[in-house]
Amino acid sequence: MNILCIGDVVGDNAVAFLQKKLWGFRKLKGVDFCVVNGENAAVLGIEPHQAQSLFAAGADVITLGNHAFQKKSILPFLEERRDILRPANLSPLSPGVGWGEFETPRGTVAVINLIGRCEMDFGPDNPFFEAERIVNKLSAKIVLVDFHAEATSEKAALAWHLDGRVSALWGTHTHVQTSDGRVLPQGTGFITDLGMTGAENSILGVRPEQSVNRFLGAPRRTPYLQAEGPCKMEGALFEIDPETGLCLGVEAVRVSQ
């Protein structure tokens, strides 16, 4: 079973790029299930119409992260849609759900969305304990984890902690694709970060001058804006044995305009 995971989508131009490219790529690679991290579709946050566009583009599940609730319009939408996941280890008072089981022609697939605690600006529950709690109640053999986290060590540690108990775990949030895609000893596929879907000539999808000015110490006078120009799609393709739920291979993905 081929599982495609797409890194943080940044801006409307990235959403439009996926609408042009994703279904064709799914057919080319024989993708059975696709998870897209959409928490930056509105640069900071996601709007309902952008979520709808990502589903139309080929996403089966949308995961979020630290900007999950940035756009107020998404809050009631999260209560309506169980295929848009916010981090499961946020407060139980948060709208929406953090994990789900989804039926496919090749069996049930569980997806868990978690957020890290290192270098984040708020205090979510321990993602290791939350992962244990969720994994222990799942019936699906294929279990996928989007770990939205800053620290590479935290991402790797959770993957090793869950090795053999989940099919694949990938990192999101840093928007830079890593070159360490591999299958861990007990059969869990892992990559530290999927990368980003958005403008190639950008800093993490944002107009370069805005990010440069921030590091120069200039006050931010306008909201972050998506960078313009040609886009790229980054992510990873996991080959999963549907009988055992273990990963057979990991392939980093990058598609340019």
pLDDT profile of the chain (257 residues), mean per 10: 98 98 97 98 98 98 96 96 96 95 96 92 87 96 97 98 98 98 98 98 95 91 92 98 97 95
Domain ranges of the chain: 2-256
- Class at the top of the CATH hierarchy for domain 2-256: alpha beta
The reported pLDDT for the residue numbered 122 is 66
Distance CA 165, CA 167 (A): 7
Instruction: Please report which helix (H) or strand (E) contains residue 62, including its range.
Output: strand 61-63
Instruction: Report CA-CA distances (Å) from 88 to 2, 7, 73, 101.
Output: 25, 19, 20, 14
Identify the pLDDT of residue 63: 98
What's the rounded Cα separation, in Å, for the pair 20 and 60? 16
Residues forming the active site: 67
pLDDT at 44: 96
* Residue 24 exposed, middle or buried by CB count within 10 Å (0-12, 13-18, 19+): exposed
Residue type, 193: D
Burial class (CB in 10 A: 0-12, 13-18, 19+), 152: middle
Determine which helix (DSSP H) or strand (DSSP E) holds 61, and give its type and residue range: strand 61-63
CA distance 145 to 152: 15
Q: Which two tokens stand for residue 211?
A: 């990010």
| Number of C-beta neighbours around residue 119 at 10 A | 10
What is residue 119's predicted lDDT score, i.e. its pLDDT? 79
